Structure 1
Amino acid sequence: MKHWLFLMPLFFFFSVHASTLLEINITNRQNSENITLSFFNKPAYVFFVLHNPDRIVLNVRDSIILNGLPRKFSSDGIVQFIRVRVGNAHNLHLVFQLANCGKIKVVMNHTGCRYNLIFTIIRNKQIDLNHLAHLHKFKKKLIVSSAISTLKHTYTADQTRKNTKRHATFSVNDIQNKIIVAIDAGHGGQDPGAVSKHGLKEKNITLIIARQLQVWLNSDPMFHGVMIRNGDHFISVAERSLIAYKKKANILISIHVDSAHNCRAYGASAWVLSNRRASRELVNRLRKKDGQLNAFRTKKNSLPEGSDTDRYVRQALLDLQFIYAQRVGYEIATKVLCQLRHVSALHKSKPAYASFGVLRSPYIPSLLIEIGFISNTRDERLLATYFYQKKISKSLYQGLHNYFLLHSP
């Protein structure tokens, strides 16, 4: 049985990235139900799943105000009700209330300018509602679409098919907690960092961009951004990674502005932990008997204090932690640079390795971003403008989003 809902616009709003929702088609099958949303132009959207009651929340950027909703459906289907509201900047918010919901499959196809976003909801006849309520109490399950785009991107057809195949099917149990991003605004207090010839200070620029990045992250249900410093005060390098650890961060991103004697040097770059610094930190932590590995030994109750086994296992575990942190930091830095190149020239096209103290933690993958050269006249002029600062912060967010969309922390 099919339900066709044709939606008449009250008025039209078009932009370069606008997409128009043409119709919603709901098709019932024996063991599943399809929700097909047809758009004119490719939509930029994000969706997530909530529970008690089960519902899909879909936000579409730059879509038009619609008529014909809310709409209620027969009780024998999975889709029970559709609600709609229009947020700021004509962002469309659709809520599909569900019953008897199991797994959710999501695909998008298109013919010309007509794009079909299809949710297939698998019916779960043997679901234990009490057990489901217990599992999802106080937890918000997130499913974020790879179609969301805050900058212009070009994807090949092969890349799109590869991403769709890998992430087409989601279970309501897949994503449990938000990804915590520790945002480190470089320098601060009595340490101004680099200062331009016109008096522009690195510590002020990095704090502005860090705050903007936190806003971008907290507007995305996938993330929770926490600030290492949120004012003009000094924090030592060692304390910064410790604060990130105490805040249970999954990733640390440190924002800085570069400077050089050569005034012609310009552009952004990304840095991750070097092997030399990792080796030095490994030795230091082994000497100090790293607290995290001591906790591991105590819980396992299998590694005798002071034994050779204890020492070798601690060294092996720390070595693996550093290798993992380096690898993840490099991969995220690569994604960030791919976004920064849309708004800024790159001083280095690939992440580089450095011995910066803020990158020292083996437990939190870390990266340091130099967003430009304050010693360069053009970069200095751009870094002083709110519009450019906002574009930089959005690029940092989009790089993080693109990485964690494909990788669990």
Structure 2
Amino acid sequence: MKHKSLFISFQSLLLLWLFSFSLNAANDIKGVRIWPSPDNTRVVFDLAEKPEYSYFFLKKPDRLVIDLKNTKANYSFDRVNIKSDLIKRIRYSKPEYKHSQRVVFDLKLPLQAGIFALAPVDNYGNRLVVDLSDSNESDSIKETKKDVSETDKRNIIIAIDAGHGGEDPGSIGPSGLYEKKVTYQISQKITDMLNKEVGLKAYMVRTGDYYIDVNKRSVIARKKKADLLLSIHADAFTSPQPSGGSVWMLSLKRANTEIGRWIEQKEQHSQLLGGAAEIIKDTINEKYLAKALLDMSMDHSIVTSYDLSKELVYQLKKVTKMHKKEPQTASLGVLKSPDIPSILIETGFISNPREERKLTQRDHQNKLARAITTAVKNYYRRNPPDGTLYASIYNKKDHVVERGESLSVIARRYSVSITQLKNENKLKNDRLFVGQTLKIPSS
């Protein structure tokens, strides 16, 4: 009985020692990465284990203090390259608790912080994410003033969204090429080409290598008063065989193709890589809008998206193979803004070795960008919004019939009915001939 008692005591001591050891087992900071953007800075701590943390702000001077429990001070912040307009430096300070570390952010101005832990996913381990933002909106996020010409006509504004970025690399090609790099390069080229056209003004939603939640991309486009949002991506699949580009618009139902379902899953996966999904503040107010108004706005967005998608497919197939010959539909967050026509363009399959190589070539990127630019110009020359400089230039009252055009095609282009067209031109039947001039009635 005595030996049994001693054995139980030994077991208790062993369990107590193991419990004490687990309490004192230290987490490790494996690395620190900083992603500055025009409106905020994201700092990511790569950790060996799930972090236990607390934080608070101090003033005079402005600081953010994070206490990491059970963590060693074995990482040197001197190696961190800080390229942020918000942070002076990151350093250690005397910890409040035993077996913990205090990390201090010396800030350049008073900031707000969103701090959260992320579980391992793909090539990423445990992470602690610190999102710092200025409570006073920066110039780049402030509402853009209308671009006004001498005739007081505004430009058509196009938001170009380079897919993925920062923590979220997007799809990764066989050679290790990141989708976020390709999309940014092509988006820059599209933006430059559009800005050379009188009456058009293009902005990039993402102006560097940083993460933006898919929902917030529409918010940024709205603050720029965008007439159109184009989201540029490079497709991927579970096998290397699929190839070719595709054009996607919003479906209010789930995607009905395997590729479409894969793209939807990829968007959800991107949110896991980039961080906790953000809630659009505007939705608090939007829910009070009349349902009829939202339905009308969504109808306009979908009609515009479809017509422009057809033109995009037509232009893209001149310069690259198309995986799908018609616009496709899927339920994707970046396309769901009810008031901004939005289109997602897959420029090719980065998972296909041959297309991965092509997507890195400057000449091929230029061809893709030129095709997309031409499609946008052609569409808005036919359908210029009222009050725009484009409308004053291209809103002609006459139309010269081209090869392959029918009354229904021309009527849809100018948003009039076939009956209106026939009455205006005193047509007795639907027959047209190339070179015929038609008068376009007021829509």
Q: TM-score, normalised by structure 2?
A: 0.46
Contact 1:192-1:201 at 8 Å conserved across structures:
yes
Counterpart selection for 1:401 from 377, 381, 400: 377
Match of 2:181 among 183, 189, 204: 204
Counterpart selection for 1:325 from 301, 312, 327: 301
Tell me the amino acid that sits aligned with residue 219 of structure 2: L
* Cα-to-partner distance string for 1:142-190 (whole Å, 9 max, x where unaligned): xxxxxxxxxxxxxxxxxxxxxxxxxxxxxxx9xx211100000000001
Whether the 8 Å CA contact 1:277–1:360 is kept in 2: the answer is no
Distance 1:139 1:292, change over 3 A: farther
Between structure 1 and structure 2, the one with the greater Rg is 2
In structure 1, distance between residues paired with 2:318 and 2:377: 16
How many Å separate the matches in 1 of 2:208 and 2:229?
Answer: 18
* 1:154-173 mapped onto 2 (5 Å cutoff): none
**Residue 348 (structure 2) pairs with residue 372 (structure 1):** yes
Instruction: Specify the alignment match of 1:291 in structure 2.
Output: 285
* CA shift for structure 1 position 276: 2.4
Structure-1 residue corresponding to 2:169:
192
In structure 2, what is the Cα distance between the partners aligned to 1:235 and 1:250? 20
Query: How does 1:176-187 map onto structure 2 within 5 Å?
Result: 176-187=153-164
Counterpart contact for 1:140–1:177, Cα < 8 Å = no
**How far apart, in 1, do the equivalents of 2:148 and 2:316 lie?**
36
1:257 offset after TM fit, Å?
0.4
Q: Which is richer in strand?
A: 1
Aligned to 1:343: 319
Secondary structure of the equivalent of 1:362?
A: coil
Give me the whole-angstrom Cα distance separating, in 2, the residues matched to 1:323 and 1:190. Answer: 35
Residues 148, 154 of structure 2: 8 Å contact kept: no
Decide whether the 8 Å contact of 1:259 with 1:374 is kept in 2.
yes
State the Cα deviation string for residues 52-82 of structure 1 (Å, max 9, x = none): xxxxxxxxxxxxxxxxxxxxxxxxxxxxxxx
Counterpart pick for 1:354 among 330, 340, 345? 330
Q: Deviations over 1:301-322 (max 9, x none)?
A: xxxxxxxxxxxxx111111111
Change (3 A) 1:289 1:251: closer
CA distance in 1, matches of 2:306, 2:156: 18
Q: Which runs of 5+ in 2 are unaligned?
A: 1-146, 256-278, 386-443
- The structural deviation recorded for 1:222 is 2.1
In structure 1, stretches of 5+ residues that fail to align are: 1-136, 142-172, 279-284, 298-313
**For the structure 1 residues 138 and 260, does the alpha-carbon distance in structure 2 shift closer, same or farther, using more than 3 Å as the test?**
closer
Match of 1:134 in 2: none
Label 1:139 to 1:234 Cα distance change in 2 as closer, same or farther (>3 A): same
For the residues of structure 2 that align with 1:217 and 1:335, how far apart are their CA atoms?
16
The correspondence for 1:216, drawn from 193, 199, 202, is: 193
8 Å CA contact 1:265–1:376 kept in 2: the answer is yes
- What displacement does 1:292 show? 5.4
SS of the residue corresponding to residue 253 of structure 1 reads strand
Whole-Å Cα distance in 2 between the matches of residues 277 and 247 of structure 1? 29
- The 3-state SS of whatever aligns with 2:186 is helix
Change (3 A) 1:289 1:263: closer
User: Alpha-carbon deviations, 1:254-303, whole Å to 9, x = none?
Assistant: 0000001231100000100102279xxxxxx9xx8763585xx7xxxxxx
* % same residue: 40
User: Hey, what's the Cα distance between the residues in 1 that align with 2:319 and 2:312?
Assistant: 12
**Mapped contact 2:231–2:334 kept (Cα < 8 A):** yes
Q: Work out the CA distance in 2 between the residues paired with 1:250 and 1:138.
A: 15
For residues 108-163 of structure 1, give each alpha carbon's deviation from its aligned partner in whole angstroms, at most 9, with x where no partner exists: xxxxxxxxxxxxxxxxxxxxxxxxxxxxx95245xxxxxxxxxxxxxxxxxxxxxx
Which residue is 1:381 aligned to? 357
Residue 323 of structure 1: how far off its partner (Å)? 1.4
Q: Residue 256 of structure 1 contacts residue 371 of structure 1 at CA under 8 Å; is this kept in 2?
A: yes
C-alpha distance in structure 1 between counterparts of 2:193 and 2:148, whole Å:
23
Q: RMSD in angstroms over aligned alpha carbons?
A: 2.4
Amino acid aligned to 2:206: R
Residue deviations 1:354-389 (CA, integer Å, cap 9, x gap): 011000100000000000001112211110111101
**Aligned amino acid, residue 206 of structure 1:** T
Structure 2 counterpart of 1:229 = 206
Are 2:335 and 2:344, in contact at CA under 8 Å, matched by a contact in 1? Answer: yes
Alpha-carbon distance in structure 2 between the residues aligned to 1:248 and 1:293: 20
Picking from 249, 262, 265, the partner of 1:272 is: 249
Aligned twin of 1:247:
224
Partner of 1:139: 149
Offset from partner CA, 1:317-369 (integer Å, 9 cap, x none): 11111111111111111111111011100001111110110001000000000
